[in-house]
Each structure stands twice: as structure tokens, then as C-alpha cells.
Amino acid sequence: MESKFSIEDAISKLWSKLDGWLDAIILKLPNIVMAILIMVLFYFIARGVRKLLQKFLLNRISQQSIQDIIARFVFLAVVLIGFFVALGVLELDKVLTSILAGAGVVGLAVGLALQGTLSNTFGGLILSFMPKINIDDFIESDGIKGFVSEISLRNIVVRQPDNNYVVIPNSKFIDGSFKNYSLTDRSRIVVSCGVGYESDLQSVEDLVVKIIGENFPQNKNEKVEFFFTEFGDSSINFMVRFWIDMKGALQEHAARHGAVKLIKSHFDAQDINIPFPIRTLDFGKNTLNMNTISSGEQS
């Protein structure tokens, strides 16, 4: 004969179970308090170790991103050690073994589900140890120009010259190409202009090379290069290339600004014409008729 379900028996068994748990918690209370104190202690130890590393060891590493990554890993490692010690105080060694075994299975599932995130994480590690990019470098990637302000395990943050921030996922940044203006002290820029067809081209070339060379000193193995490029609609166009000190967009804009002013002022002094397109409207024999409507008329 099947036994009938009894609410009273179920409640009684539940209270018995809870009473047993309460007794176990009371017995383990000193261990619980000790485990909490150990976790708090290891947290402050982790902070202290991180500060010591940043002050005495990591400052020898030139790349700020590598310093941040190492400091974070050391901090997490010390906290994990404290967590394992706390579990030992609670006599949960077997639970720890089960947790580690389960973590492996869960980690595999999470890894498959978060492939993009993990790709960003490993991309962050790669970027942190890349010697070709550092914090405060001026870079250009996929049409985005700016200063590197942060390299994390998920993305790279670029501060643009207009003070807006662009967040680029590490995986996208790693897979693409980028230009780092800060890797070299000198860069070559181009300034373009045009002169009238009546101009003496050799005089124009000599003048531009002279004024650019005098105002933008060139180092060894560098020189001002001048090239006529095309017969334009109203001018013969040319470009002049020269080297400047440049690690960012500001120096490039300032140099081009100065070069344009120099070329214009010297061309004016030498009566060298810089043509601009002129558009003439010829109506021929056509007449333009305008019908005026008085204020009293209605359409």
C-alpha cells in the first residue's frame, strides 16, 4: 500500500534539515569569520603588491599598457590565492576540487559562446606587448586618427583631435592595418599649388625650393623636392615635398599652414600669378523676360 503524502511530515523534515544546517553554520562560524578576514587581508595584500610592482619594477617597462596588464594579473593572482586559502579554512577542499572540475566544463562552454570576446581579450594581450604602439601615440586606423589613451583586454580607446573618443575592438584593430605617426621623429609632407601659363617655370621652381629650404631645415639625406604635376584648366600645377619634425597632426597642419603663407607672399612679391577658375555666363541673343504682377492681381 502506497504511503500518502503528508504536508506535516514534509515540513517537519524541512525544519530538521534547516536545523542541521543552522547547527553546522554555528559550529563553522569561527571558520567563516576567519575566511572572511583572510579574503579581506589578501585583497589589501594584492593592492599593496600591485602598488609596489608599479613603483619599483614596472616603471622600468617603457610601455604603459604592459605595466597595466601585469599589474592586473598580479592583483587577480593574489586574490585567487586568498580565495583558495579561505576555502581551506572552511574545510571545503573537496568542494574546491568539484569547482575546478566544473570550471573546466563551464570554461569550454563559455569559450565557445564568447569567441568574439575572447578574441578581443587575446588581441588586448598582443597589443599590450607590441612595441609598435604605446599609450599617447598618434595613430590612424580605418580612417580614424587620434592619440591612444587606453589599451585594455577588450578594446583600444583613441582620443581624436576634436577630443572625441573612439572605442575600437581589439580583434578588429589587430586584423586591420594602422599607421603610427609617433614611431618616427621626422615625416615628409606635400603642399600643392599652381601658377599661370605665362609664368617662368624654372624661376617658380627655384623660388619655392629656396623659401621652403630656408624655413624648413632638412637633415642629412633629406631634401626639398619639387615636381610639376599637370597642365590644369587654368594653371600649371606643382607639388613640393619636404621633411618636418612630426609626431602628430598638429605639427603637420602647422607646417602646411606656414608653407602656404610663404609661397603666397613670395609669389605676390615676384608678381607670380596663382590662377583660379573663372566662369563666364554668355546669354547670347537670348533675352530674359520678367513679368511683374501687381499687388492687386491674383494668379
Q: Is residue 46 part of a domain?
A: yes
The verdict on 109 and 98 lying in the same domain is yes
What domain range is 228 assigned to? 184-269
Location of C-alpha cell 618616427: 184
Whether 177 is in a domain gets the answer yes
User: What pLDDT sits at residue 288?
Assistant: 53
Q: Are residues 222 and 263 in the same domain?
A: yes
Pull the grid cell for residue 167: 572605442
Between 249-269 and 201-215, two packed helices, what is the crossing angle to 10 degrees? Answer: 130
230 and 139 within one domain: no
Q: State the CATH number of the domain containing residue 236.
A: 3.30.70.100
Same domain (yes/no): 57, 145: no
For residues 96 and 154, state if they share a domain.
no
Nearest to residue 93, comparing CAs of 37, 42, 45, 31?
Answer: 31
Do the Cβ atoms of 141 and 176 come closer than 8 Å?
A: yes
Please indicate, yes or no, whether residues 165 and 99 belong to a single structural domain of this protein: no
Rounded to whole angstroms, what are the CA distances from 261 to 144, 244, 250? 28, 16, 17
Q: Do 25 and 88 reside in the same domain of the chain? A: yes
Averaged over successive runs of 10 residues, the pLDDT of the chain (299 residues) comes to 58 64 64 82 85 69 64 82 78 63 58 50 57 79 86 82 87 77 88 93 95 93 94 92 88 93 94 80 58 48
Same domain, 204 and 233: yes
Structural domain includes residue 71: yes
**159 occurs within a structural domain:** yes
Residues 166, 243 share a domain: no
Q: What is the CATH number of the domain that holds 137?
A: 2.30.30.60
Q: Could you tell me the maximum CA-CA distance found in the chain, to the nearest angstrom?
A: 120
pLDDT (0 to 100) of residue 114? 45
Would you tell me the crossing angle of helices 115-128 and 93-113 to the nearest 10 degrees? Answer: 100
User: Does 298 reside within a domain?
Assistant: no
State whether residue 156 is helix, strand or coil.
strand
- Claim to verify: residue 103 and residue 163 sit in the same structural domain: no
| Residue 285, domain member (yes or no) | no
Instruction: Please provide the DSSP assignment of 224-278 as one string.
Output: -EEEEEEE-SSSEEEEEEEEEE-SSHHHHHHHHHHHHHHHHHHHHHTT-------
Q: Is residue 123 part of a domain?
A: no
The answer to whether position 291 is within a domain reads no
Judgement on whether residues 23 and 97 belong to the same structural domain of the protein = yes
Q: Check whether residue 109 and residue 86 sit in a common domain.
A: yes
C-alpha cell at 18: 534547516
Domain CATH for 35: 1.10.287
Q: What pLDDT was estimated at residue 21? A: 60
34 touches 89 (CB < 8 A)? yes
Q: How many domains does the chain have?
A: 3
